[in-house]
A and B are shown apart, each in its own frame.
Chain A
């Protein structure tokens, strides 16, 4: 069974944004780590994980209509 989430990829990760980023299908029970693999993101660049405006982890399990944001490390000034 599939669920749908919205995915927002920031900075250098934005180049991996899928076409259907607002309604992106993943298998029910998928984790952020599964999503990272599905999107072919370099895992070492996924530094900040947000799920519904709260900090998440690679192990966070995704639910239908979750809003996921992924940020690489940034340090410029």
Chain B
């Protein structure tokens, strides 16, 4: 492929558009991105990155503007986020990050869908019972945004594989379902120098924090790992869909702010939520 031919084709197939606020931009449609990827035997992500580098906005991201700039969108497309756990938190996180255009998603979960996941896990449907959560996530992401490059591990994260699995990520998202593995993930993220966003839920309640490698992190939330059981209050209270979706959305907000280096992060802070009482508070930890 000649780079000049490729860029010429992108420019030729883009058109002038109008944002809802009346300002103009140059856009390129979803179908055109697909066609160019096929014609030039490359990925949709490569087409979109090249378009954005020439101030051409893929239409699929038009409503991300102007909360995101073209440069922001380009940065997101070049970023890799690991989602560890693809249940109630991780399923929605995959959906949100794919739609917002985080270009490389790394998915980790060794589990398969079962009946008891249907109450809350976005990716779990009747037809997908017994199907691997990673495969369901891949299928969903490809349907939403085929420009996303996907890496995946259809296996459970443990202390032997964690560092390898998250290697190369810009942010790691803790969407796991037990306290012990959360500590394993945090240790690996710290070792690899990667920021971690961690949320946990039980019933109507949840909490969320953002941990940089130098931060005390989960020990500020749970104390010493040895003092904890594998599971917490969720074993008694269950996990509700509205709690999972709310906390997953907040996790994604932290991811985007870390990647774009803007906004206020929950670093050394814990956002606690109680949906029953409409309590949302930020605690210094």
Residues of A within 8 A of B (CB): 8, 10-12, 45, 47-48, 50, 53-55, 69, 71-77
Q: Which of B182, B232, B239, B282 contacts A53 (CB 8 A)?
A: B282
Contacts of B205 in A (CB 8 A): 10-11, 71, 74
B279:A77 contact, CB within 8 angstroms: no
- Kindly state whether residue B178 has any CB partner on chain A within 8 Å: yes
CA distance A11 to B221 in the complex (A): 15
Besides A50-B281, A77-B177, 16 other A-B contacts (C-beta < 8 A): A8-B279, A10-B274, A12-B202, A12-B237, A47-B223, A53-B284, A55-B285, A72-B202, A74-B205, A74-B206, A75-B176, A76-B201, A76-B238, A77-B90, A77-B176, A77-B239
Q: Which of B200, B220, B229, B270 contacts A77 (CB 8 A)?
A: B200
Closest beta carbon of chain A to B280's beta carbon, Å: 12
Known A10-B274, A11-B203, A47-B222; contact A73-B233, beta-carbon cutoff 8 A: yes
B239:A76 contact, CB within 8 angstroms: yes
Q: How many A-B residue pairs have CB under 8 A?
A: 99
In the complex, identify which listed stretch (B15-23, B81-89, B146-154, B161-169) lies at the interface while the others stay far away.
B81-89
Contacts of B222 in A (CB 8 A): 47, 73
B284:A55 contact, CB within 8 angstroms: yes
Contacts of B204 in A (CB 8 A): 11
**Nearest residue, chain A, Cβ from B204:** A11
Known A77-B89, A77-B239; contact A55-B220, beta-carbon cutoff 8 A: yes
B179:A53 contact, CB within 8 angstroms: no
- Kindly state whether residue B228 has any CB partner on chain A within 8 Å: yes
CA distance A11 to B179 in the complex (A): 16
Closest beta carbon of chain B to A25's beta carbon, Å: 22
Q: Which of A8, A69, A75 contacts B178 (CB 8 A)?
A: A75
Closest beta carbon of chain B to A26's beta carbon, Å: 21
Closest beta carbon of chain B to A44's beta carbon, Å: 8
CA distance A10 to B283 in the complex (A): 14
Contacts of B88 in A (CB 8 A): 76-77
CA distance A38 to B90 in the complex (A): 39
**Nearest residue, chain B, Cβ from A12:** B233
Q: Which of B85, B229, B233 contacts A11 (CB 8 A)?
A: B233
CA distance A69 to B9 in the complex (A): 60
Scan B204-232; emit 1 where CB is below 8 A from any A CB, else 0. 11110000000000001111000011111
Known A12-B237, A53-B284, A54-B284; contact A76-B232, beta-carbon cutoff 8 A: yes
Known A8-B279, A54-B284; contact A75-B231, beta-carbon cutoff 8 A: yes
